[in-house]
Amino acid sequence: MKFRKERKAPSFFPKLIAVAVLSAYAAGASAIEPFTVRDIRVEGIQRTEAGTVFNYLPVRVGDLFNDEKAAAAIKALYATGFFKDVRIEAEGDVLVVAVEERPAIASVDFTGTKEFEKDKLRKALKDLGLGESRILDKSLVDRAEQELKRQYLSRGLYGVKITTTVTPIERNRVNVTFAVDEGEVARIRQIKIIGGQAFKEDELLDQLKMSTPGWFTWYSKSDQYSRQKLAGDIEGLRSFYLNRGYLEMQVDSTQVSISPDKKDIFITINLTEGKKYKITNIKLEGEMLGREQELSALVSLKAGDAYSGERMTESTKKISERMGVFGYAFANVNAVPAINRDKAEVAFTIFVDPGKRVYVRNINIGGNDRTRDSVIRREFRQLESAWYDGDKIRLSRDRLGRLGYFTDTTVDTVEVPGVPDQVDLDVKVTEKPTGAIMVGAGFSSAEKLVLTGSINQANAFGTGNNIGINLNTSRVFRTIGLSYTNPYFTEDGVSRTFDLFYRTSRPPIYLRTINYEVVTQGAAVNFGIPFTELDRVFLGVGYEDTTVTTFAGTSPQRYTDFVRDNDGPASGIGSARTAAIPLTAAWQRDQRDSALIPSRGRYRRASLELSPAGSSQYYRGTYQDQAFWPVTSGITFALNGEFNYGGGLGGDAYPIFKNFFAGGIGSVRGFGPGTLNVSGTRTDAGNFRLPIGGSARLIANAEIQLPFPGTGVDRSLRWFTFLDGGQVWNPNDAEPIRLTDLRYSTGIGISWISPVGPLKLSLAYPINAKLGDYVQRFQFQLGTGF
């Protein structure tokens, strides 16, 4: 297209200078006689400001206008994407820019979408540039349609059909609508593995996360195909073979086909197993800091073993971590094979390059919106300006996890740019709500819904201190308690705890013909003294005042005997008051990686409570042992065991209000809280055994904790299966402790680190409930541990 300027008579009728088609210039526009621009006028704009056009124009008033300036002006305005047509005209020495704007998007809507939320789709398209108030770009609409279709294909909806409609409305705007026909989800109907000889096909299929439809695939969606899933499963197959000696196993090809109706998917994996290799020799070479024997002991594979990729990786990782203890944070440890294919043997040389020794410059803390930096830093055993120590860093991370303030803690080692012998530690924590409203509940046909509760503020105001208010307004166990703990009462980590309490205990509601009351009030102070990084000893003293009240015709014999034997009425009907000064001593070793959601480690605690003075003299001891093993990255096997025993001192009988109880979450699920015992006589209120507890208790629990389907390895929401066992006895009354008296239960449950505290729900089946046992199948509790 040509651009020209003609001299005219004074009529000043406008003449066309140019019609903007940039390709005309590429073909070669004829030269025009330049002229000086006296004024610039913009026509055709509706939403765009004139100033915006002026900003993009490479021409200004007073400039000399020619064909090069015209081409540049058209190109610049088209490049903005605001206009679909641009024309440049002249009226005398006035430059007229005539534009036709592209329409703006008034709304973006979806119909027929069930697999995705509309708001999330709108946000995703807006990130692409397609959203309300944006300029319509047909290429972006096409791209959005293809991206939306790709997302549906990733969900197994291969029959999806998407129709895009652009509807013009007033003021040069349009509505963009994506009409989606999702169709049916395509399911994996068949997976075949060809080439496997050493293992049965079913065993190989078990290694895949993808599967054909089953009982739970509606939730896990493992019967839906995606390229990412297939790639992950191929790696899983390769690892399976490598861990069993097949060093050269190869996946030759994969074929994925879909049925004509796009409802069924068929997958074929072709592989070559190769030979099974045995290890003939493993040696270490490189700079080992004179610790060759120590590092060699970390290699779990030996000559004669079948090769295992997992064990070899584990061995090199241990060597690398061991080098990190001496300050070599970036030690490079590589295992290089020498393969003898004729004999199916392999020898390994593990090369150790420690790199440069480094020290920690700064420890940077992030994610702690509430918790003070000092609370986190005081748990760190790796110090700034000290040599890097991998063991101390791991210990510091575990100590943070055991605080119970965070759901996740990571420590990353970052090189300092330009300084090869320095690193920074970036500590990232994910805080959990530390103010917890703890609620417990159970359901039974006799009591219906039973509720208990307390309020606890751990990490109060981000200081790491703990303030607790325990309130329980139930008729059975009424409690008012206040506690305050400062875990760093001294700079050395000695903790101090104050307790004030007032407790009232009565028989459960379902025992309508039984009545008694035990009221205990008192106070205690306790100090925790750290002896090692894992061990802590607790010493404390307290005062307790207890009143037991019985009623004629409704109080159990043991309660009336206690009243009579403690200066109460000779009939045993009335009240008796006792006082005790309990001294407490305890030892605790905590090796868990987290106090809240442990996946590995062990926790042990032994305690003794001794009251040598006062009108009630007794002792009671406790030993508890917990262990956690990671089965996989998301599955944990946990065990808990606890034994308790108490007795009287100086000829005093063991006080009945110090009895141990079993039943419910925390002991034996499926039985009512505190209702298990051997010797309690049955009553006519439903033929239930009296829940009087005992002076000896044994509890055992086993759990398999698994990630909730669809949450990956997220440990904050898990489900579990369990097996519980336990019972209480009264050996002080010549009642023998017999394991045959144990009650067992099994079941399933869900645990969740909720915004108001740890939540646990369980549905239990009592395996050997006896006549007189109080069964409570469904139970839940907020604020529970194991």
Concatenated DSSP letters for 489-529?
SSTT--EEEEEEEEEEE---TT-TT--EEEEEEEEEEEEEE
CB 594 within 8 A of CB 584: no
Q: Which two tokens stand for residue 185?
A: 């989800």
Q: Which two tokens stand for residue 347?
A: 């020898």
Average pLDDT along the chain, 786 residues, taken 10 residues at a time? 37 37 37 78 83 88 86 87 84 86 88 87 85 85 89 82 91 90 87 92 91 81 85 93 93 92 92 94 92 92 92 94 92 94 94 93 92 92 93 91 86 91 93 65 48 68 84 72 92 93 83 85 96 93 95 88 90 92 96 85 96 90 96 89 94 90 91 82 59 92 85 73 95 88 95 74 93 87 58
Residue with tokens 């090069």: 68
Give the pLDDT of residue 154: 77
| Residues 402, 34: Cα–Cα separation, whole Å | 81
Give the pLDDT of residue 460: 82
**DSSP letters spanning 208-250:** -S--SS-SSHHHH-TTS--HHHHHHHHHHHHHHHHTTT-TT-E
Report CA 420 to chain centroid distance, whole Å. Answer: 35
At 652, the amino acid letter reads D
- Closest by Cα among 80, 44, 79, 74 to 59: 74
| Residues 178, 115: Cα–Cα separation, whole Å | 14
Burial class (CB in 10 A: 0-12, 13-18, 19+), 73: buried
Report CA 674 to chain centroid distance, whole Å. Answer: 32
Give the pLDDT of residue 432: 77
Helix locations, 605-673, DSSP H: none
| Residues 781, 441: Cα–Cα separation, whole Å | 6
- Closest by Cα among 157, 240, 261, 155 to 193: 240
CB 639 within 8 A of CB 624: no
Q: What Rg value do the Cα atoms of the chain yield, rounded?
A: 38
| Residues 334, 54: Cα–Cα separation, whole Å | 63
Instruction: Find all residues with CB under 8 Å of 18, minimum gap 6, and list them.
Output: 1, 2, 3, 70, 74, 87, 88, 89
Give the β-pairing of 250-258 and 15-19.
unpaired
Beta strand residue intervals within 370-507, DSSP E: 406-416, 419-431, 435-444, 448-457, 466-473, 477-486, 495-505
| Residues 103, 175: Cα–Cα separation, whole Å | 10
Return the H-helix or E-strand segment holding 607. Answer: strand 601-611
| Residues 75, 69: Cα–Cα separation, whole Å | 10
| Residues 362, 384: Cα–Cα separation, whole Å | 6
CB 537 within 8 A of CB 585: yes
Helix locations, 81-137, DSSP H: 118-128
3-class DSSP assignment, residue 741? helix
pLDDT digits (tens, 9 = 90+) for 367-389: 998 899 999 999 999 999 999 99
- Closest by Cα among 580, 586, 618, 621 to 604: 586
| Residues 204, 237: Cα–Cα separation, whole Å | 7
What is the rounded end-to-end Cα distance, in angstroms, of the chain? 82
Give the pLDDT of residue 26: 37
| Residues 254, 56: Cα–Cα separation, whole Å | 54
Q: Which two tokens stand for residue 354?
A: 């420690």
Residues listed for the chain? 786
Q: HSE-up of 591 (CA within 13 Å, CB side)?
A: 11
